[in-house]
Structure 1
Amino acid sequence: MHRLLTRQLKKAFGAQTNKDDFSADMHKLMGLVSDAYDEYSNERKFLEHTLEQNSQELTAANRLITEKNRELNEQVKVVTHSKSFLNRLIDSIPMFILTLDRHLKVISANKKFIESTNSDYSDYLQILSEASDRERFIRESDQLFANDIDILHNETDLLDGFNNTLHIAWSHTLVEDEEGNDIILSIGADLTERKHAENSMHWLAHNDSLTGIGNRRDFQKNLEHALNSKSNGALAFIDVNHFKQINDLHGHGVGDRVLVKIANTLKTITRSNDYISRLAGDEFTIIFCRVTEDIIGGVLDKLLKALNSYVVLDDGSQLPYTVSAGVAMFPQHASDEESLIVKADLAMYQAKKKGLGYWHLFNPQEDDFSSLHEDSRLIYCLKKAIEDSRMQLYYQPIIKLSDKTISHYEVLVRMIDENGDLVFPGTFIPAAERMGLIRDVDKWVLGHALQQLALHLNSIPDLRFTVNISAPSLQASDFPEVLKQALIDSGVPATHLLIELTETSYIDNFEQVLKNLEKVDELGVAIALDDFGIGFSSFSYLKKMPLSFVKLDGSYVKDLLNVPEDQVFVESVSKMVNAFGMQTIAEFVGDELSCQKLLELGVEYAQGFYIGQPQPYLTSIDEIKRNLQNG
């Protein structure tokens, strides 16, 4: 009997109850109940075993779930970190990154795009300003979604937060979003600096960096275009007179200011369909389109009037400058570039021969290349003559009219060319002035004249020389020191030297000339003003310059005896000069009667072929000595 049933029977019928005390039926019943209890016990043990086993399985499953949760959390952390890193990476890329849906709406934009544009673009089409660009992008984006093309390129201009234009080059490709849908990934590269660099390079390739106008390449392109247009026009070559002297005397900074002002003036006075350029140095060009020969003269008059101007120096003084212009018409004078340029250049050369600040229109009947070639030959010969000392000094006496004694000698220069022939200053001095060599000539003459003077002062103690000094030399700030050093090197006392300034010479800085002349006067060197009476400025010079002598221009002396007006002028000038404490010299004196008349009119000194012709020093030294002794 099952032990559990036995306990229950004893509990119910007493502890002394025996199984024999029950009937057979009760025994049968108790057997069935006992079997039931046995079956229940077995079932319970099975259930307990099963429960234990399930508990173990659940514990293992729980541990697995816990481990899986931990791994999942780690993966979530990794994914979150990766996504954050990816976002930071995208935001740190110096490119514009957008994602677009099928309707080209902006899904996302990186930090670079948002901060650079400072605009809220909801649609990529808003970036495209032109309708044609929008239509093209819609069409090609449809091809992109249809996989007909792999990549789409376009360029756009965007405004940044400061209204500066950004030039962006875009590349568009298809990618999948988290849900597997196709979207457009748009990556834009900022090409603004490169575009600016390209534009700058293009600008520099066709424009002059100093003045901002076209350069030689631009000139050649525009000239070719103008000639191919088969219309009437003109080519003007413009050159700044004595530009080298401006640079030498005042520095390249002042020279640059002159060039910039000329360029700005050209921009103002030329038409929009004309082409202006700076070829090099001080050379400018204008291509006049659709002009004819009958109106070009008026155009050039207006042009030169505007271009002949001045710049203000740092000390407040004005520095005047002039230009010369040569013009050739096309197709009348030439229809090809080379011939037209040569003829315009030749015309400019002719303009310079007229003087400062003039223009000249090429004349096929009169202008040829022989004079240009001759000028080039003279310049070459002059350079070689200075280098090889193939220059020769001549001396012309200046007498005192009251007693006919020689006061001093004017030193004149001759050049000996490659053939050994003498070339007179009237031939090579203008070329030297045009080509900037006149200061070299001055220096050579001054140095050699003082050497000759030093050689003969012991035997002729009253000997004095006058040396012509050009305005460019006088304008050099170092001229007083150069003169002082030349006197020291030669050992000649300053009182034996006079310098003569030609009034008609190019003077672009009178203030500097005046300062230099005052220093020259302090050295004890006398100063003479040549060609007095030609320009109105002559009279103002009398009051300002520390002059000792004033030389009347020869045009008032040649016909003095026959022209009463010249006599009145000479007498008036003599009185005025004397009033300033100076003395008058008359040049081009041709006879004795003129000498007497000049003396009557108050002129103290005379010079001319009648007085004495220029002679080489070595052949005239005895005559000089004799004349001085006789005096």
Structure 2
Amino acid sequence: DDRAPNSKRIEMPFCTDGYSLRFYSKAEGDSVEVNLTAAIARHQTDGDTVDDLLSNCTATLRTLKTIDRGKVNYISAGFDSRAARQEKLQVQDAIVKALADERFVLLYQPIYNLERERITHCECLVRMVTENGKLLSPAAFMDIAKNNGLMPRIDYLVLKMALRQLRDWADNNIHLKLSVNVTAVTFESERFVQQLQRLLYETGASGSQLIFEIVETEAINNLDSAKALCDRLAKLDIQIAFDDFGIGFTSFEYLRDLPVDFIKIDQSFIRYLYKRKSDQLLVKSMVDMALALGKKIVAEGVEDDGSADLLRDMGVHYLQGYYISRPKRVNEIDLNYSMPTL
């Protein structure tokens, strides 16, 4: 069949002589439905060898198990080829080795306090170091780490490095806070607080200098348990920042129900703020609501003085972005930075 992959046949049930390949059986009060699902790959288009064709079909069927059954499906142009899957396995292996060797480093992006007119904390941004010394951004490995259950290991390694840096600053009479990103799977783990307390004890860092950033788009699964965890962290003097605020449907529900200290307005609303009236109206509404609820506000993605001026006038407390500083290694941060007068 040489019909195009986007043929309507893709959406039709797999039929033989007019009957769908769904079988229903009822015996002795028990009922069972069996669905047969098919994947079709084209020689040369979707693989040149039998092994490639079977591998690609198997991967497609594995995906369809949780999506749609009882139909015939052509492999689409966007599917993961065998070569792409092998490449992901190589990246996964590289992540595991980097974890074993602790080949992850932190860069620090300063966050400017408009009221105090100085840098008061930094966000930790993780990079993976390859075996040949190249730095990889999270875009190169984070999704694969998430899909293979490796994020808790990365989260705890990042947390340990951040706490060591806090202790080092404290020993040198430098009073900066650090924001650390924590994925939902780690944040909601029953062992999270226990592991955190162990790391605080081992490093000698103070919880009062720590801010956890949680991301709505990571889909907090249980709002009640997340709220209880925030309360437990507050007892350790640890603050919570709600990251990527505004880009999800549940942002305002979380703002209402979670005892967070900061909201970080997503950079997609900030990057062109000076040029877009619609973004200005949206950001102003977010700021007004957050202020009414007593939250501190961080604007991410600030890249020009015009946007910085608008954000100050709106009542935003902190600015983060290339206008202030790019992410840097710890010894490159200008702790005495003062923003130009607006």
Quickly name the TM-score band, shorter chain normalised: 0.7 to 0.9
Q: Which of 502, 506, 522 pairs up with 2:215?
A: 502
User: Matched residues in 2 for 1:346 and 1:424: separation?
Assistant: 27
Alignment of 1:163-202 (within 5 A): none
CA contact (8 A) 1:414 1:422 kept: yes
CA contact (8 A) 1:402 1:599 kept: no
Which structure is richer in relative contact order (CA contacts within 8 A, separation 6 or more)?
Answer: 2
TM-score, L = length of structure 2: 0.80
Shift of 1:587: 0.7
> Which residue identity is paired with 1:391?
F
Pair 1:474-2:187 in alignment:
yes
Extract unaligned runs of 5+ from structure 1. Answer: 1-231, 235-268, 274-284, 290-327
The range that moved more, 490-499 or 366-375, is 366-375
Extract unaligned runs of 5+ from structure 2. Answer: 1-8, 12-19, 25-33
User: Matched residues in 1 for 2:74 and 2:268: separation?
Assistant: 30
Q: Cα deviation per residue 1:424-481 (whole Å; 9 max; x = unaligned)? A: 0122111111111000000000011101110121323421111101000011012122
State the match for 1:448 in structure 2: 161
> Which residue identity is paired with 1:271?
R
Q: Which of 10, 22, 47 pairs up with 1:271?
A: 22
Distance 1:365 1:330, change over 3 A: closer
User: Matched residues in 1 for 2:68 and 2:264: separation?
Assistant: 27
Pair 1:485-2:195 in alignment:
no
Question: In percent, how many aligned pairs have the same letter?
Answer: 30
User: Matched residues in 1 for 2:68 and 2:314: separation?
Assistant: 37
User: Matched residues in 1 for 2:62 and 2:145: separation?
Assistant: 13
State the match for 2:40 in structure 1: 329
User: Matched residues in 2 for 1:423 and 1:357: separation?
Assistant: 33
SS of the residue 2:218 aligns to: coil
SS of the residue 2:235 aligns to: helix
The range that moved more, 457-466 or 356-365, is 356-365
> Which residue identity is paired with 1:486?
L
Alignment of 1:589-600 (within 5 A): 589-600=302-313
Distance 1:436 1:404, change over 3 A: same
Pair 1:404-2:153 in alignment:
no
Distance 1:554 1:519, change over 3 A: same
Alignment of 1:375-386 (within 5 A): 375-386=88-99
Q: Cα deviation per residue 1:272-315 (whole Å; 9 max; x = unaligned)? A: 18xxxxxxxxxxx97426xxxxxxxxxxxxxxxxxxxxxxxxxx
> Which residue identity is paired with 1:427?
A
Distance 1:270 1:437, change over 3 A: farther
Distance 1:437 1:363, change over 3 A: same
* TM-align CA RMSD: 3.2
How many correspondences in the alignment? Answer: 307
User: Matched residues in 1 for 2:67 and 2:36: separation?
Assistant: 20
Distance 1:579 1:373, change over 3 A: same
CA contact (8 A) 2:108 2:123 kept: yes
Give 4+ residue runs of structure 1 displaced > 6 Å after superposition.
Answer: 334-337, 348-351, 356-361
CA contact (8 A) 2:169 2:175 kept: no
Shift of 1:483: 1.4
SS of the residue 2:120 aligns to: strand
CA contact (8 A) 2:177 2:210 kept: yes
Distance 1:537 1:509, change over 3 A: same
Q: Which of 238, 245, 252 pairs up with 1:525?
A: 238
Shift of 1:578: 1.1
User: Matched residues in 1 for 2:68 and 2:115: separation?
Assistant: 44
CA contact (8 A) 1:233 1:331 kept: no
State the match for 1:605 in structure 2: 318
> Which residue identity is paired with 1:600?
D
State the match for 1:278 in structure 2: none
CA contact (8 A) 2:245 2:263 kept: yes
Alignment of 1:19-98 (within 5 A): none
SS of the residue 2:298 aligns to: strand
> Which residue identity is paired with 2:22?
R
SS of the residue 1:561 aligns to: coil
User: Matched residues in 2 for 1:270 and 1:501: separation?
Assistant: 45
CA contact (8 A) 1:233 1:287 kept: no
SS of the residue 2:93 aligns to: helix
Q: Which has the larger radius of gyration?
A: 1
User: Matched residues in 1 for 2:249 and 2:241: separation?
Assistant: 17
SS of the residue 1:504 aligns to: helix
> Which residue identity is paired with 2:171?
N
Distance 1:329 1:568, change over 3 A: same
Q: Kindly indicate which of the two structures has a greater share of residues assigned to helix.
A: 1
Distance 1:334 1:412, change over 3 A: closer
User: Matched residues in 2 for 1:536 and 1:453: separation?
Assistant: 35
Shift of 1:551: 0.5
> Which residue identity is paired with 1:477?
E
SS of the residue 1:611 aligns to: coil
The range that moved more, 391-400 or 479-488, is 479-488
Q: Cα deviation per residue 1:177-198 (whole Å; 9 max; x = unaligned)? A: xxxxxxxxxxxxxxxxxxxxxx
TM-score, L = length of structure 1: 0.45
Pair 1:288-2:37 in alignment:
yes
User: Matched residues in 1 for 2:166 and 2:67: separation?
Assistant: 39
CA contact (8 A) 1:502 1:529 kept: yes
Distance 1:361 1:396, change over 3 A: farther
